[in-house]
């Protein structure tokens, strides 16, 4: 006779191994971004808010929640953090995106912030381009704040058979009842989109001497050479935001300055006002500077942003976040909680 508890443990272990693989690929998941879930009987196990998928095998990062209770709240369109639905006792909160995991009927739901997906989901004509590339069966969800608002929007755009969901200015969701096949489908989509466009040849300024920004260090490697560009289209993008975790961990755009004096003056004013300094800033002709107090999550997010920039087709019309959308994210209690953990 099969030991039911043993069978569940085996399922959970395989699920954690796939979660670890996703979290270890920085072109799929960065810092505390992304989340995975598995449904077992009337429970759902989902990554906890603020935790990192790369820790799936060595830390307790998953929360068991009451699936039926959450699904009822979704049906009633109740905006909730689902803390009352927690079954596990590890003192963690379920992901801010728990609701869409519960909405999707498949056993496994894998959500990532794939650099290639985001780069192809930020254009005004992204839905048309993506359906031409991936097929009509995908669901494309126009941007709305993550959490219950996103789930409510998804209700009318997906059905019980939908396995591939592209979130505008956000990322990729892949679902299925077979874990390995679901993972393979996700990887295939990421790779297919990654093969569409890549440009690492752009005009750069000739540097004139050295500059110093107090409390910052120049990221002077080939990897970050894009921030030395003289291409005004790219320079204009640097100070804008494209996806939620960009806003949360890098702020609403990276400040761009004409000189080190301008950057130092800006930082002095921010300190006077008690405002946290940006983790990164850019000085034209010289490139990207990183704060000495930059956290690991922001370091991973700048690498994500860099990879997305290299995949953007600048001749397409790009949809940036509005100031209202940025403020909605920065003032969202669930995101404030996630930032305190990171």
pLDDT of residue 5: 82
Write the pLDDT tens digit of every residue in 264-307.
Answer: 999 999 999 999 999 999 999 999 999 999 999 999 999 999 99
pLDDT of residue 136: 85
pLDDT of residue 123: 98
> What span, in angstroms and rounded, lies between the C-alpha atoms of 323 and 305?
19
Would you identify the CATH topology of the domain 4-194? L-fuculose-1-phosphate Aldolase (3.40.225)
Candidates 274, 279, 202, 268; CA nearest to 234 is 202
pLDDT of residue 341: 47
pLDDT of residue 335: 52
Positive or negative: CA dihedral 161, 166, 168, 171 = positive
DSSP reduced 3-state for 341: helix
**Token output for 142:** 């126009």
DSSP reduced 3-state for 288: strand
User: Cβ contacts of residue 331 below 8 Å, gap of 6+?
Assistant: none
DSSP letter for 138, please. Answer: S
Domain boundaries, the chain: 4-194, 216-310+312-341
pLDDT of residue 4: 52
The secondary structure element, H or E, covering residue 311 is: none
> Cβ distance 258 to 197 under 8 Å?
no
> Cβ distance 267 to 315 under 8 Å?
no
Listing DSSP states for 163-207 in one string gives -EEEETTTEEEEEESSHHHHHHHHHHHHHHHHTT-------BPPP
> Cβ distance 66 to 87 under 8 Å?
yes
> Cβ distance 253 to 279 under 8 Å?
no
102 burial class (0-12, 13-18, 19+ CB within 10 angstroms)?
buried
Write the pLDDT tens digit of every residue in 72-111.
Answer: 999 999 999 999 999 999 999 999 999 999 999 999 999 9
Output the tens digit of pLDDT for each of the chain's 342 residues. Answer: 334 588 899 999 999 999 999 999 999 999 999 999 999 999 999 999 999 999 999 999 999 999 999 999 999 999 999 999 999 999 999 999 999 999 999 999 999 999 999 999 999 999 999 999 999 899 999 999 999 999 999 999 999 999 999 999 999 999 999 999 999 999 999 999 999 999 999 999 887 788 999 999 999 899 999 999 999 999 999 999 999 999 999 999 999 999 999 999 999 999 999 999 999 999 999 999 999 999 999 999 999 999 999 999 999 999 999 999 999 999 876 555 445 445
**Token output for 54:** 């790369």
pLDDT of residue 337: 43
């Amino acid at each position: 006779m099969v030991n039911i508890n043993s069978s569940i443990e085996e399922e959970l272990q395989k699920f954690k191994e796939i979660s670890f693989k996703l979290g270890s690929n920085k072109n799929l998941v960065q810092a505390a971004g992304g989340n995975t879930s598995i449904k077992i009987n009337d429970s759902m196990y989902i990554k906890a808010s603020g935790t990192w998928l790369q820790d799936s095998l060595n830390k307790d990062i998953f929360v068991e929640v009451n699936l039926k209770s959450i699904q009822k709240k979704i049906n009633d369109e109740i905006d909730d953090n689902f803390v009352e639905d927690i079954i596990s006792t590890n003192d963690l909160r379920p992901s801010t995106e728990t609701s869409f995991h519960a909405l999707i009927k498949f056993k496994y739901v894998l959500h990532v912030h794939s650099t290639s997906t985001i780069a192809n989901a930020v254009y005004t004509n992204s839905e048309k381009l993506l359906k031409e590339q991936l097929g009509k069966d995908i669901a494309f969800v126009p941007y709305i704040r993550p959490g219950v608002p996103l789930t409510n929007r998804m209700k009318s755009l997906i059905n019980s058979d939908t396995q591939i969901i592209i979130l505008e200015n956000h990322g990729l969701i892949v679902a299925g009842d077979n874990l390995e096949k679901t993972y393979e489908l996700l990887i295939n989509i990421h790779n297919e989109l990654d093969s569409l466009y890549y440009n690492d040849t752009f005009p750069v300024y000739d540097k004139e001497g050295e500059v110093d920004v107090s409390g910052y260090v120049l990221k002077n490697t080939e990897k970050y050479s894009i921030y030395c560009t003289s291409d005004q289209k790219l320079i204009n993008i640097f100070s804008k935001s494209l996806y939620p975790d960009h806003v949360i961990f890098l702020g609403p755009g990276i400040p761009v300055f004409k000189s080190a004096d301008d950057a130092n003056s800006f930082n002095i004013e921010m300190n006077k006002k008690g405002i946290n300094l940006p983790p990164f800033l850019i000085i034209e002709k010289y490139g990207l500077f990183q704060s000495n107090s930059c956290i690991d999550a922001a370091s991973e997010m700048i690498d994500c942003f860099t990879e997305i920039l290299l995949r953007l087709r600048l001749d397409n019309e790009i949809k940036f976040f509005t100031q209202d959308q940025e403020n909605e994210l920065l003032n969202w209690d669930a995101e404030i909680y996630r930032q305190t953990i990171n």
